[in-house]
Amino acid sequence: HNGEYLDIHCGGVDNKFPHHTNEIAQSEAFLGHKWCNYWFHVLHLNDARGKMSKSKG
């Protein structure tokens, strides 16, 4: 638990909308103030076989 405020929040670019948009709205509505200063969205990791993901095992 980091209290009521984050400096940086990281997540996958595929979750930017609508997941992260909703996460911001819900958190800020509950807290009543800005929740996070910076969002860091990362791209997918690729190897010789293509995109790595949990669904591929």
**Tens digits of residue pLDDT in 21-37:** 999 999 999 999 999 99
Locate the domains of the chain by residue range: 6-46
**pLDDT tens profile 8-20:** 999 999 899 999 9
Bridge partners of 9, per DSSP, are: 39
Output the CA angle 13-53-26, nearest 5 degrees.
Answer: 40
Render the burial of 41-57: b for 16+ CB within 10 Å, e for the rest: eeeeeeeeeeeeeeeee
Confidence of residue 57 (pLDDT cuts 50, 70, 90): low
Tell if the pTM clears 0.75, that is, is over it. no
User: Measuring CA to CA, how many Å separate 55 from each of 46, 51, 52?
Assistant: 14, 10, 9
Q: What is the largest CA-CA distance in the chain?
A: 46
